A and B are shown apart, each in its own frame.
Chain A
Amino acid sequence: MNAAGAAGGSPAGATKDAPSAAHGVARAEHEVGERIDRGVDPSTRARFGRLVSDNRVGLVLLIVVLAVVIGSARPMFWNANFVLGPMLTTVAIYTVVGLAQMTVLSVGQMNLAVGGMAATGAMASAIAFDRLGVSLPVGILVGILVGAAIGALCGVLVAKAGVNSFVVTLAMSFALLGLVPAVYAWVSTGAAISADVEGLDLLGRGRTSDLCLGDVCGPAGIPLLVILAIVVMAVVGFLFARTRFGREVLLTGSNQRAALLSAVPVDRRVISVHALSGGLAALAGIMLGASTGSFTPAIGQEFMLQSFLGPILGGTLLVGGYVSVLGTFLGITLTVLIRQGLMLFGVGIEGLNILLGSVLLLALCTDRIRTVMSQRSRLRASLAPVPVAGAAAPEGASPSTAGAER
């Protein structure tokens, strides 16, 4: 699974230099990912090239163009109460789901139980609200902790038993798929819990216009959940870009053996990454429950495809070692926008599915084309023989070859 990330990648992440420090979280995490074509001479031209090749720029352009096209064809799109607001709520929830997947992808693994963990976390919160009568923050914390505990269990199985993360999380998702409806049926009569806690409604359905400081109120149309998602993005981004933990995780994903030899506690990092993923998924489930007002076993059913779409469109590598928080957000925004647009044009649910699947395939193909192109140009520039190892493509070439490119 961690075939690709090679020697060149590891030090680039660890020895990030000072000049880029001021560029903020997004910039910094970009630097982490620059392990492949990190130029020796950061001239303006190279920077421009990097800007163009950065798929996040493309995503922003695509989102803007799509929004303008949809908005001009269907002016209803700009309706803050019925279209834009709910759409932003969806973006907020799916972004957190995407981040949950992204954290696991960072070590080259995956979490197929995002939906199940979301459902379980939401269920735990709902039970805490409904049965134990706890306050809002405590209930949310309970849900997140339950999600994190399930994630940690997966992580332990992956790291200690050495089982493929795919299988562990798949089996876990099946177990949760059975557990959640059973518990709901046991705890409540109608297989749904409508938690009635002070502040939950405001969190789920409130908008910035509900937040007033004296006479000054926030702009209408932006749901509070968006702010929560931004906070989560900032925290996760900070974690990966600025902390030792994040670096060690990325190094683990880039080259597990190198990480082990560099005294990174690989097993512990894998476990904590899975726990983090579980916690984030649970938070997303709680957000969904809060936004609809009722907690049901159906929470999280649509999470899996979205959770992969966001990070992959945003440029997060499936093999690990590189993440993009902002890219995940943009990828999610794009897919939600496409969904919304199609719905406004009256395309049915089957069309949505076909299209979203196609988008994922297309993203995979472009990703592949990009990789092949960069490999070819590197090959041409360096004239160095590239090992012919089918599966283990030489993603990260040695530092010397990367340098020779420019």
Chain B
Amino acid sequence: MSARIAELLRRQTTTLALVVVAGVAVLAIQSGGEFLAPISVTTFFEFLAIPIVIGLAQMATLAVGQMNLAVGSIGGFAACLAGVLAADLGLPGWLAGLAAVLVGLVAGVLNGVIVVLTQINGFVVTLATMTILAGAQYALVGTRTITSASWAGLQSLGDLRPLGIPLIFWFAVVLAVALSAAYRHLLPAREMLASGGNPLAATLSGISNSRALITAHGLSGLLCGIAALLVMVSLPGVNKSIGGDWLLASFAAPIIGGVSLTGGSVAVLGTVLAATIVRLVDSARAAFQLDPSWVNLVIGAVVLGTVALDRFRSRAPRAAAPTTTGPVPRRPVVEGAAS
């Protein structure tokens, strides 16, 4: 039992949860309790849904040892395309939202196909598609902002507040739970983890690495498309700047959340908690009236520190492994790959 508690304490998610609690406490004290008022709680969660989804989108590619630099431009492009469809072509709001999700999926699958065909590092491929899609997004909307009046029905969903918390946040939570379950039980998801953990072992076990890569990129794109849908639901309009600042958030959440960068593991809960921490930093920045650039500095430093610490941590337990071996998996969702 004590080993189990020690294991729990060493888990990254425990640390992250403690950081979240501490952050909330600090902010609540600093604002004299105002931070816990219903209105600020609603705002807090409203702007947390999208970071969670894009963090999960990045996690999906990290699981196969790839990365997706195009999260922001896929999301931005999908949102703008849907906006144009709704505003200029008169598509009903829900159809435009569906189009955004589909566009994200298609873009992600394309990324995957290009990665498989060229056998080139996904980083460079998505760098290229990022540039292309960012250009396409600008070409679509230029300098204009399409207001959400064109999809008023869809947008009204964003005003729903079950239990005082925005619907889109609940949606993000459901999405995370579903993903977590999928990574545990679903065959394609298990194959992605196996392929990411050890491609050679995956091949020898009859798993197609190419299919895993395409599925992972497709899933990532799909999540970007969903993020675009959330943008349409929650923001007053879409323009060329949508998605421009997603890249850091998308990497920060999974990396701080404990997703291995070499592939083979995911940490859905960790990603969600880390996205919450990033959101807390942003709230603190607003509370202390600092320049927005400080958020980048802090997050960048935290990511660097996490990466270095993670290395340190993964070395330390290995030496002490015999004492803590047991049926407890090292991380909640993470289990070793096929090897």
Contacts and interface: CB of A to CB of B under 8 A. Distances in A.
Contact of B117 (A163, A357, A368, A393): A368
Contacts of B131: 305, 353-354, 356-357, 360
B135 A354 contact: yes
A389 B296 CA distance: 40
Contacts of A305: 127, 131
Contacts of B138: 348-350, 353
Given A185-B291, A350-B135, A390-B199, A174 B299 contact: yes
A404 B296 CA distance: 55
B297 A175 contact: yes
A166 interface: yes
Q: In this complex, which of A170, A176, A185, A312 has the most chain B Cβ atoms within 10 angstroms of its Cβ? A: A170
B177 to A, nearest CB: 27
B120 A364 contact: yes
Contact of B128 (A166, A173, A349, A364): A364
18 contacts: A164-B262, A166-B123, A167-B303, A168-B304, A171-B307, A175-B301, A177-B293, A178-B294, A178-B299, A181-B291, A182-B291, A318-B120, A353-B134, A354-B139, A361-B114, A361-B129, A367-B120, A391-B199
A365 B129 CA distance: 13
Interface of A: 110, 157, 161-164, 166-168, 170-182, 185, 304-305, 308, 312, 318, 348-358, 360-361, 364-365, 367-368, 371, 388-393
Interface of B: 67, 114, 117-121, 123-125, 127-139, 142, 199-200, 203, 209-210, 248, 251-252, 255, 261-262, 291, 293-301, 303-304, 307-308, 311-312
B132 A358 contact: yes
B123 to A, nearest CB: 6
B311 A161 contact: yes
A361 B125 CA distance: 7
A175 B301 CA distance: 6
A308 B127 contact: yes
A174 B300 contact: yes
A361 B117 contact: no
B132 A354 contact: yes
B299 A182 contact: no
Nearest to A116: B300
Contact of B296 (A178, A312, A368): A178
A356 B129 CA distance: 10
**Would you call the interface of chain B mostly helix, strand, loop, or mixed?**
helix
Contacts of B262: 164
A366 B136 CA distance: 24
Nearest to B120: A364
A167 B296 contact: no
B134 A390 contact: no
A162 B137 CA distance: 38
A126 to B, nearest CB: 17
B132 A357 contact: yes
Contacts of A157: 304, 307-308
B153 to A, nearest CB: 30
Given A181-B291, A305-B131, A176 B311 contact: no
B127 A182 contact: no
Contact of B303 (A171, A176, A356, A357): A171
A350 B136 contact: yes
Given A318-B124, A352-B135, A357-B128, A181 B293 contact: yes
A170 B128 contact: no
B119 A393 contact: yes
Nearest to A179: B297
B130 A182 contact: no
A353 B135 contact: yes
A390 B203 contact: yes
Contacts of B261: 163-164, 166-167
A359 to B, nearest CB: 8
Nearest to A362: B128
Contacts of A172: 300, 304
Given A360-B124, A368-B119, A161 B308 contact: yes
B124 A312 contact: yes
B132 A162 contact: no
B308 A163 contact: yes
Given A170-B251, A364-B128, 11 more contacts: A110-B123, A167-B261, A172-B304, A173-B300, A174-B248, A174-B300, A350-B137, A353-B132, A360-B131, A361-B125, A389-B200
Contact of A162 (B128, B135, B311): B311
Contacts of B119: 368, 371, 391, 393
Contacts of B255: 167, 171
Nearest to A170: B251
> A-B pairs with the 5 shortest C-beta distances?
A178-B297, A353-B135, A175-B300, A178-B296, A174-B300
B273 to A, nearest CB: 18
